[in-house]
Amino acid sequence: MSYEVIGITVLWIFLFGYLIVASIDFGAGFFSYYSTLTGKRHLINNIIERYLSPVWEVTNVFLVFFFVGIVGFFPDTAYYYGTALLIPGSIAIILLAIRGSYYAFSTYGFKKDSRFYLFLYGASGLLIPAALSTVMTISEGGYIDVDDKGKVTFLFSKLFTSTYSWTVVLLAIVSVLYISAMFLTYYANRANDRGAFEVVRKYAIAWSGPTILSSLLVFFAIRGHNPVHFERMTSYAWMFVVSFACFLVAIFLVWTRKRLGLAFIFVMLQFGFAFFGYGAGHLPYVLYPYLTIHDNFTSEPMAIALISVFILGLLLLIPSLYLLMRLFLFDTKYVQGKRGK
């Protein structure tokens, strides 16, 4: 495997990590708001808060990691994406900032459940994935223009009126809700909280259909928008088939209320296969058709240094993350709320 492929694979893994942890977080924010509207807040709020409090900071790091890493390995991405993404990127930053800080303000500061605040929190949970997913859309090409001098112009109206970009937004929002509900189902079960479990299980099942439907929509939209990518994706068709099989297993387990931890692992596999299948099909392009992973790849010593630092860092991070999960995810007493702060 070349350094380029190792680099992009490592980054893709981090992006996948962000996709999972951020989805849980964003979806939980939405459900928290939705449950207030339907009068079920008292049922599910406890488990959501107990899970989110110790981990919300870590979620952000996955994202920072990805964009620092991609600039390191592929310096040209900073130039193209940096120029093109000023508006969607800034909006995403502002939403993330409001959401992150207000989460901390309400959790650690004054305990006041204002409806307006909950609305902001819930709405941002859906708007952030929408804003971030535009990066994926742009990577397919057709939304930026590069002139002879290398000046990059972002075609905002084209993005706004394209069917493909809206199907991606739809998929992002729906999957966030699905992933989050599936996780909360597992967590509520661990917490032995029947009331919460029944509520979030319904959410999970309700969002499973739309997830699959919007995935199919994106497939068709790519075919229309970027046939080259679609062709390449069909050569990885088996990955999407496996992804669908994992989806069926996950839903079956949740439906029969059995082995919910395993069910969530299958959810991760479902998205893992689809995400890596999509990514593999996208290669070698980082930004179709302007930028491939071979264009202006970082120098060899830098690539080796970055990969080594990655490995050393992971040796430090994996045990720490494991400790965090042991203390707050797999510690039955904590999950059930029997430990004080």
CB closer to another protein out of 75 and 195: 75
Beta bridge partners of 214: none
Interface map 153-182 toward another protein (x if CB under 8 A): -x----------------------------
Contact status: 327 vs another protein (CB under 8 A)? yes
Contact status: 82 vs another protein (CB under 8 A)? yes
Within 8 A by CB and 6+ apart from 44, the residues are 31, 32, 35, 184, 188, 195, 196, 199, 200
Give the whole-angstrom CA distance, residue 34 versus residue 133.
23
Contact status: 321 vs another protein (CB under 8 A)? yes
Contact status: 86 vs another protein (CB under 8 A)? yes
* Ranges within 273-302 binding another protein (CB under 8 A): 298-299, 301-302
Give the whole-angstrom CA distance, residue 323 versus residue 190.
18
Q: What CA–CA distances, in Å, run from 229 to 138, 170, 220?
A: 13, 20, 12
SS3 letters across 323-340: HHHHHHCCCHHHHCCCCC
Stretch that binds another protein, among 36-44, 173-181, 198-206, 303-311 (CB under 8 A): 303-311
Contact status: 53 vs another protein (CB under 8 A)? yes
Contact status: 18 vs another protein (CB under 8 A)? no
Stretch that binds another protein, among 20-28, 139-147, 169-177, 308-316 (CB under 8 A): 308-316
Question: Binding residue for another protein (CB under 8 A) from 37, 206, 237, 309?
Answer: 309
Contact status: 265 vs another protein (CB under 8 A)? no
Residue 171 CB, nearest distance to another protein (Å)? 23
Alpha carbon 13 to its chain's center? 11
170 C-beta neighbours (distance < 10 Å), count? 19
Residue 29 CB, nearest distance to another protein (Å)? 15
Contact status: 102 vs another protein (CB under 8 A)? yes
Give the whole-angstrom CA distance, residue 283 versus residue 183.
31
DSSP alpha helix (H) spans, 140-193: 156-160, 163-190
Question: Binding residue for another protein (CB under 8 A) from 93, 213, 216, 237?
Answer: 93
First to last CA, the chain: 47
Q: Where are the beta strands (DSSP E) in 69-149?
A: 144-146
**Residues interacting with another protein, by CB under 8 A?**
53-55, 57-58, 60-61, 63-65, 67-69, 71-76, 78-83, 85-87, 89-90, 92-94, 96-98, 100-105, 108-110, 151-152, 154, 298-299, 301-302, 304-306, 309-310, 313, 316-317, 320-321, 323-324, 327-328, 334, 339-341
